[in-house]
Structure 1
Amino acid sequence: MNIATMPISHAAVMQALLGGASSHTGTYDHSAADKPTNGGKVEIRKTAKTVPIGPTIEFWRQHLDGERSLGVSPVRDDGTCIWGAIDHDDRQADLAAIFDAVERERLPLCVCRSKSGGAHLFLFMAAPVPAADIQRALRGALRRLDLPDDTEIFPKQVVAGCPQDKATTSTSWLNMPYFGGDETDRYCVKKSGMIMTTSEFIAWADKNAITASQLSNLFTAGPSTAAHATVQTSDFEPWFAIALERLENAENHKADDTLMGVARDVGRWASEIPVDIDNAEHRARQAWHRRDKSDADFDAQWLRNITAGMRLGQPPKSIKNGDAPRLTRLSEVPVTQVEWLWPGRFAIGKLSLLAGHPGLGKSQLTMLLAATVSKGGEWPFGEGFAQQGRTLVLSAEDDVSDTLKPRYLAAGGDAEMVDVLDAVKTRTGERGFDLSTDVDMLDRTLGQRDDYRLVIIDPISAYLGGKIDSNRNSDVRGVLAPVQKLAERHRVAVVCVSHLIKAGGREAIGSVTGSGAFVAAARLACIVTKEMVEVEGEDGKVEKAETGRRLLTVAKNNIGPDGADQSLAFRVVSQDIGNGIFAPAIEWDEQLSISADAAIGFREQSKLGRRPSAVDDAKAFLRRTLKGGRMLSAELDAAATNEGISTGTLKNAKKATGVISEKEAGSGGRWWCFLPGRQEELPV
């Protein structure tokens, strides 16, 4: 653009600089806008509206004269943009500091004050470029400026919308600067936060407009973004060819879901590398037509899922070439409540554990969980209602047709609301799913739908992969940590099923098979046991007898109350599901006051009247001393000596209590001791 060739009026120049969608603009009643309180945001929602007229010169004149505020959507009718913007919604933004950061990173961004006191960082192009290219570049700028990843970016979509398309236009326009001209509070700044006049802003935009190649460098150049380059442009085409093949050959009832997944993944790729969205759409549409499917069905899925994928980021194929720490200041983290799937037992966004000996009803319980979630049903004994949604099941021990599905139907579930991930398809056949290598695949599966609420992994040990030692804390933590992140990102409850060790005499949280990291990773751990009662035999001796009931107890709850008052008794009964087929089902009996430790018979001999031994005293010492977290082994040994506990007795007590010893990394690392689930200084 050359200012000398432009019309004289500021309105005409601003229309050319900040052109966008010709079909609509945004506006609001400036006089009726809610004023901010305590540094809050100027609220315009009550009067904001999208007008089915493009940003005319007259609209710009009214805007610059302070008569009518103007909002513009940057995506032009052909899907290109000549400007973009970062909307840093911090009402106490230091514009001078942001200007300095932009200068330091040598970014061609103009820093403007928003209507609420935040910052709009404008980018101007010398010629139109695809909207997706601007989005990628501005995401790269976010990283270089250390702004939050969820900061809003304009354009918000990659194709032009229309006034009737609320999905693409309702929040796609940005309030323009210089409302009121030089008397504005929406001004742009220069060095030291000094205010630019309208004329200075126009001159800056003309001088600093960049080319398409310069735009590409905006997000690929510079040391601060090198660590974020996770994929190469050359990786996209092989992946897309396989994705199109998958779309064309998907089973008929899975066609829509497959298209949704492909579109989202294309959007994920486009969030990090240049992708020809139009070409990808054309090829995907051709594959869709080869299925004899309609354009209307394609259009219903494609655009909105492209946009959703770009928001999610993280392309399906990642090449790790750099690591960098991510720091979050506590003052910037909002306080939120725990979101429960089953209040007090299983939570949304968390990893939970369900453990018990074989044959006690664990899989029946998981199918009851899935069935209740499928219909948003009520939990027993007035414990609330489930969030309705889908369940993803990974089951390595039970056959789907003769075990899982009958048990699910016996629990009253809707079979349309459960997906079973039973294998991974490869070019040469199939293989088992492996959490240590396939977590990205699980991420994509959950990302293809918005209604998953529950993931069941039964048993967790079957999905660790052949190279993972389930008794090694570091191995287990390395697998479970990404799963916990997926639970948070996709807002699902992940329930991992496990077994208990055969030998008794341990606390409930120390009785789970494998490394103590399983219990440590879980925010909640429930234990399934047989109900045992004391009876007096004919010889007068007290012994234990089964009642035929099962107990569901809470052994660990890091995000809510735990204790004996949360225990439930149930029976496994036979349920007729039709066609002469019977399946086991859960029948709730009553609420009980019994702890998880008591339910598994921990310290059983002491309860029968035997005098505590030296090992019993040492176990009590360990539970008391390590209750608050880990402790240096040397300090623990010294404290035990002061209690009169011998080295041999302490060693036996550690084994019986399940105390874990672990050495710090590096030469000269110290040894630490902790109880399973209590090593708060070693988070997963």
Structure 2
Amino acid sequence: MLKEFQLLEQMRSDDPLKAAEAYIAAGLKVVVIHGVDEDSKCTCRKPKCKAFKHPVSEFFSHGAHSATTDMKLVRRAFRKVPNGNLAITLDDLTVIDIDGPEGRQLIADQRFPRTIKVRTPRGSHSHYLGGLSGKTFKLPQADVLTGADRYVLVPPSLGAGGKRYRWATMGPQEAAPLPAGIEQLRRRSPATARAAHTKIFEGARNDTLFKIACSLRRHVDQDMLQSILQEVNRTACETPVPDSEVAALVASAGRYDTESADLFGPPTIRESLPLEFLWYPYIPRHAVTLLAGDPGKGKSLLVAQLIARVTSGRRLPLSGKRASGRRVLLLSAEDNWARVSLPRLEKAGFDIDNLHIMQKFRSLTDERIEAMAAFMREWRPDLVVIDTLSAYMGGARDMHRQNEVGEFLGRLTELAEETGAAILGLAHLNKQSGGMPLYRVVGSIGFMATIRSALFMGNDPDDPERLALAHGKANGSEKGPTILFERVGGGKNEVPILRAVDTSPATDADVCRVERGPVGRPSAERDAAIALVQEMLSDKPVAWETIQAAAEARAIASKSTMNLVRADLAREGKIVQVGRGKAAKWISGDDSRE
């Protein structure tokens, strides 16, 4: 949340790159916008373009939703369009855009507090700290703009007449809080006045709003269409429908009767974009990551650690870096919020002001996905956790059918790409003893085919008392090393947490190995392995690698059998571990000494 907006001297620079650095330093997100060339034409060079002010689509394909704090991306955009302009998104900001004497007088009559102001080619922009719940609206010769789905040009942008946007030199140097009286101006909006004479009654609301959306969808982008429809819903419907339903109608209109020209054609983005990560290389942005493991192997504890570190801005496990963002949206079908999730997060040290949750468990039907999409566009979470994916698919979809899984995850991927979020979906593994963990995820293979990164939680194969996070799939980066965790605390009145202690060369197959107890009479291989361990261990600590090497040299047992024997003997107290991590060694337990 933006807590203040102070003018910095660098924001007055004629160099858009220096100005962009200052806006980003102030906590704002920026968009590079097409400007005006020497011939007074849009720098996009499209013959019929008269819009100007539209984003450089190669880098900001989703408009305000593609806004960035990455200066590398901003520099690339300005190299592509040297005469481009600069805009900021209005997340937690409201701007009054005055472009005529009638609007100037209307706003002057309100006696709003003075605030920072931009001199524009046609008037001025007054910036206030805080957002409106009712979205953008128009006034005579003035607009009131707000919301994360909106952007405004800022200095040193150049207008169509060759005049630059400039910050006012006189007056306040910090944005004033949003005046309460701004919302009262909404009733003076021409749209509101027309709606007072045209009412949409219950029973005709959805059909009428859908027809309006279909008639406008080819002329405005989806963000503008949703704002228009929300305004019509609020002012014209006798009983307004929920905002989530408006979002679903907009999405339906976008899919309705699509012409071939909307589906096929040359690519609109012609320059590659950099891969972005919330946690490199484990969790990419703009994509879905899967976290899978057997029950009780620490997936939820790991999620609590991630949420705590992201929301509080602390360093990620065994990393000197912090997550690129601090907002988290949590959907949890398996854990009670007050009794389970909240205590875990509190123990892990999260910042509750940066967390939103799904208040009640509801499966993600098409309509609810659209409602979640509208929320994500508005609040812009950096991490979205869905625990578990199969639960939120709901009963109407079959998790064992690849086409249904693919469609569900495909829509989540679209959301991640559109908003820049990292979506982390949790899943369970089946009990099959063979095969790679990628193929043991419960449900269709479509779960693994659609995601970009796959993480697996299980036991440290060298120490059954520790947990391990292995990187099983990585599209677009190298795999990260397996991270080892200790479970700290826990008990009747204490919540356990995970503490990262080391890395390991263990693979996802090692971490997710299915351990089975012996059935019937123990095998000769197992007997020989037990005898070797008891022979080599005494009061003097011995590294397990030494025992393993002896087993291989004598062809006594495989590495997996030796690891199972070690786990069983340790559980029974017949051998004892001394030390931790790479320095760990083993001695004979009391009940096996003679």
Task: Provide TM-score, normalisation by structure 1.
Answer: 0.45
Residue 420 of structure 1 deviates from its aligned partner by: 1.2
The SS at the match of 1:505 is coil
CA contact (8 A) 1:343 1:384 kept: no
Q: Are residues 117 and 456 of structure 1, via their aligned partners in 2, closer, same or farther at CA, if it must alter by over 3 Å?
A: closer
2 CA distance for matches of 1:117 and 1:345? 37
Residue 412 of structure 1 deviates from its aligned partner by: 1.1
What is the match of residue 26 of structure 1? none
Alignment of 1:433-448 (within 5 A): 433-448=363-378
Q: For residue 370 of structure 2, what is the amino acid of its counterpart?
A: D
Q: Are residues 272 and 174 of structure 1, via their aligned partners in 2, closer, same or farther at CA, if it must alter by over 3 Å?
A: farther
What is the match of residue 582 of structure 2? none
1:12-56 per-position Cα deviation (integer Å, ceiling 9, x unaligned): xxxxxxxxxxxxxxxxxxxx999xxxxxxxx8999xxxxxxxxxx
2 CA distance for matches of 1:339 and 1:381? 19
Alignment of 1:458-497 (within 5 A): 458-497=387-426
Q: How many residues align?
A: 364
2 CA distance for matches of 1:361 and 1:560? 25
Residue 158 of structure 1 deviates from its aligned partner by: 9.5
The SS at the match of 1:365 is helix
Q: Are residues 120 and 274 of structure 1, via their aligned partners in 2, closer, same or farther at CA, if it must alter by over 3 Å?
A: farther
The SS at the match of 1:471 is coil
Residue 581 of structure 1 deviates from its aligned partner by: 4.5
2 CA distance for matches of 1:45 and 1:594? 46
What is the match of residue 330 of structure 2? 393
Pair 1:582 & 2:474 matched: no
The SS at the match of 1:385 is coil
Q: Are residues 170 and 478 of structure 1, via their aligned partners in 2, closer, same or farther at CA, if it must alter by over 3 Å?
A: same
Question: What residue ranges of structure 1 are gaps of 5+ in the alignment?
Answer: 1-31, 35-42, 47-86, 93-111, 124-133, 140-147, 178-230, 239-265, 288-311, 425-431, 534-545, 611-684
1 CA distance for matches of 2:441 and 2:299? 14
Q: For residue 165 of structure 1, what is the amino acid of its counterpart?
A: S
What is the match of residue 160 of structure 2? 175
Q: For residue 477 of structure 1, what is the amino acid of its counterpart?
A: G
What is the match of residue 384 of structure 2? 455
CA contact (8 A) 1:89 1:119 kept: no
CA contact (8 A) 2:36 2:160 kept: no
Alignment of 1:639-654 (within 5 A): none
Residue from 271, 279, 282 that aligns with 2:225: 271
2 CA distance for matches of 1:609 and 1:336? 58
1 CA distance for matches of 2:266 and 2:396? 36
Q: Are residues 444 and 33 of structure 1, via their aligned partners in 2, closer, same or farther at CA, if it must alter by over 3 Å?
A: closer
Residue 404 of structure 1 deviates from its aligned partner by: 0.4
1:552-594 per-position Cα deviation (integer Å, ceiling 9, x unaligned): 10110112112xx610111222269xxx952121111211111
The SS at the match of 2:124 is coil
1:170-206 per-position Cα deviation (integer Å, ceiling 9, x unaligned): 37873239xxxxxxxxxxxxxxxxxxxxxxxxxxxxx
Alignment of 1:265-344 (within 5 A): 270-271=224-225, 315=250, 318=253, 320-323=255-258, 324=260, 326-327=263-264, 329=266, 332-344=269-281
Residue 361 of structure 1 deviates from its aligned partner by: 0.8
What is the match of residue 126 of structure 2? 165
Residue from 485, 500, 503 that aligns with 1:591: 503
CA contact (8 A) 1:339 1:347 kept: yes
Q: For residue 378 of structure 1, what is the amino acid of its counterpart?
A: R
2 CA distance for matches of 1:497 and 1:413? 20
CA contact (8 A) 1:163 1:169 kept: no
Same amino acid, percent of matched pairs: 20
2 CA distance for matches of 1:422 and 1:600? 33
Q: Are residues 272 and 511 of structure 1, via their aligned partners in 2, closer, same or farther at CA, if it must alter by over 3 Å?
A: closer
1:505-530 per-position Cα deviation (integer Å, ceiling 9, x unaligned): 11121111111111111100011112
What is the match of residue 471 of structure 2? 554
Pair 1:384 & 2:321 matched: yes
Residue 315 of structure 1 deviates from its aligned partner by: 3.3
Alignment of 1:131-146 (within 5 A): none
1:456-493 per-position Cα deviation (integer Å, ceiling 9, x unaligned): 00010001121211111101001110100111111111
1:386-424 per-position Cα deviation (integer Å, ceiling 9, x unaligned): 123211111111000111011111111112221110327
2 CA distance for matches of 1:602 and 1:90? 63
1 CA distance for matches of 2:442 and 2:478? 24
Q: For residue 494 of structure 2, what is the amino acid of its counterpart?
A: F
Larger radius of gyration: 1
2 CA distance for matches of 1:322 and 1:236? 12
Residue from 270, 275, 296 that aligns with 1:359: 296
Greater relative CO (CA pairs within 8 A, separation 6+): 2
The SS at the match of 1:271 is helix
- Aligned-residue RMSD, C-alpha: 5.0
2 CA distance for matches of 1:414 and 1:33? 38
Alignment of 1:52-201 (within 5 A): 114=41, 118=45, 121=48, 160=98, 162-163=123-124, 165=126, 168=152, 170=154, 174-176=159-161
CA contact (8 A) 1:88 1:119 kept: no
What is the match of residue 375 of structure 1? 312
Pair 1:404 & 2:388 matched: no
Residue 117 of structure 1 deviates from its aligned partner by: 8.6
1 CA distance for matches of 2:44 and 2:341? 56
What is the match of residue 483 of structure 2? 568
CA contact (8 A) 1:507 1:602 kept: no
What is the match of residue 553 of structure 2? none
2 CA distance for matches of 1:383 and 1:314? 45
CA contact (8 A) 1:349 1:490 kept: yes
1 CA distance for matches of 2:356 and 2:495? 20
